[in-house]
């Protein structure tokens, strides 16, 4: 009579013997995940590709550029949804998302600075505010709140406005979307509004002839135009197409209050992050016994 065979252990389990001779099961090492191929990060890479494509078309093709740039911004909401749905929220993904947002907005503002040199200092200030606010906020969160705390976790006691902005997905989406849409409206106005772009004004002489003669910066010779499509003359010629400015003005007008609110949040975020870091510095100095009391040296004669 044959004895029944002992069932073999599951493939993923292995027997290990400790020093006392007793055995226990050790699970096999699970397959290492590739963070860089998570779905939210793949969406982030596609945002970068679309952003570069929009920059390529930015000088001469406002409609194509605006479409690509808008799709890149809208995907910002999709990667957050994918992270929650697939349970693939990572620190790398959060940093990738923030850096992509900051860089794309900065590139658009750089173009606006070149389109309207008179307002360049304003656009440069917005770039500096956006970068400084988010960098100091993230640094303060990591150094004061701990390595595992997200920059979107803002205590209500510290700022209820920032808490609402980061925790309410609707508020966050509306503020970010309309803020970018305002700058897109300004970008389109640089191709359509003679009030903002004086080169769009077709000045004529008394006999009706245009002053925009070949050889001038606004109307370069055809040969130089086609040899160098990214020259200043090509940009002026593209603007001379005179897009209808009605829709860009409506976009800019509707989105302006939200843009102003978003920039005020950047200022608030910068101030509170600096205060938070200062509080940490005070605690660290107190723990180190600083400032040390210096004994005054009596002058002996």
Q: What's the CATH number for 35-192+243-283?
A: 1.20.120
Q: Is 17 helix (H, G, I), strand (E, B) or coil?
A: strand
CA gap 148, 162 in Å, rounded: 19
Model confidence at 113, pLDDT cuts 50, 70, 90, reads very high
Domain ranges of the chain: 35-192+243-283
Specify whether the CB–CB gap between 124 and 113 falls below 8 A. Answer: yes
- Per residue in 36-72, pLDDT tens? 999 999 999 999 999 999 999 888 788 889 999 999 9
Task: Supply the pLDDT for residue 201.
Answer: 46
Active site residues: 101
CA distances from 232 to 87, 189, 229, 236, 248 (A): 48, 18, 9, 6, 23
CA gap 253, 85 in Å, rounded: 36
| Higher pLDDT, residue 245 or 205 | 245
Task: Supply the pLDDT for residue 159.
Answer: 86
176, two tokens: 């970010």
| Higher pLDDT, residue 112 or 244 | 112
Task: Supply the pLDDT for residue 233.
Answer: 54
Give this prediction's pTM: 0.74
Task: Supply the pLDDT for residue 217.
Answer: 41
- Per residue in 9-21, pLDDT tens? 554 444 444 545 5
- Per residue in 239-285, pLDDT tens? 555 577 889 999 999 999 999 999 999 999 999 999 999 999 999 99
């Amino acid at each position: 009579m044959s004895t029944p065979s002992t069932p073999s252990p599951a493939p993923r389990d292995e027997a290990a013997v400790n020093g006392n001779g007793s055995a226990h099961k050790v699970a096999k090492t699970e397959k290492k995940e590739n963070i860089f191929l998570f779905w939210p990060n793949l969406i982030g890479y596609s945002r970068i590709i679309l952003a570069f494509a929009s920059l390529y078309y930015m000088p001469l093709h406002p409609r194509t550029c605006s479409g690509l740039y808008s799709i890149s911004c809208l995907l910002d909401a999709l990667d957050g949804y994918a992270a929650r749905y697939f349970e693939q929220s990572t620190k790398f993904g959060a940093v990738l998302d923030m850096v992509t947002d900051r860089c794309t907005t900065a590139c658009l503002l750089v173009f606006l600075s070149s389109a309207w040199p008179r307002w360049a200092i304003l656009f440069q200030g917005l770039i500096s505010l956006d970068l400084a606010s988010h960098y100091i906020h993230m640094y303060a969160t990591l150094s004061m709140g701990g390595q595992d705390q997200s920059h979107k976790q803002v205590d209500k006691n510290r700022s209820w406005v920032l808490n609402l902005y980061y925790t309410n997905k609707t508020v966050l989406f509306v503020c970010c979307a309309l803020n970018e849409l305002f700058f897109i409206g300004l970008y389109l106005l640089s191709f359509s509004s003679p009030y903002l772009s004086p080169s769009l004004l077709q000045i004529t002489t008394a006999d009706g002839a245009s002053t925009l003669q070949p050889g001038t910066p606004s109307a370069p010779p055809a040969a130089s135009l086609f040899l160098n499509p990214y020259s200043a003359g090509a940009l002026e010629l593209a603007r001379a197409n005179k897009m209808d400015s009605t829709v860009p003005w409506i976009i800019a007008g509707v989105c302006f209050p939200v843009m102003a609110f978003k920039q005020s949040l950047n200022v608030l975020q910068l101030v509170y992050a600096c205060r938070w870091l200062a509080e940490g510095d005070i605690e660290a100095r107190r723990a180190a016994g600083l400032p040390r009391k210096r004994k005054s040296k009596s002058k002996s004669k």
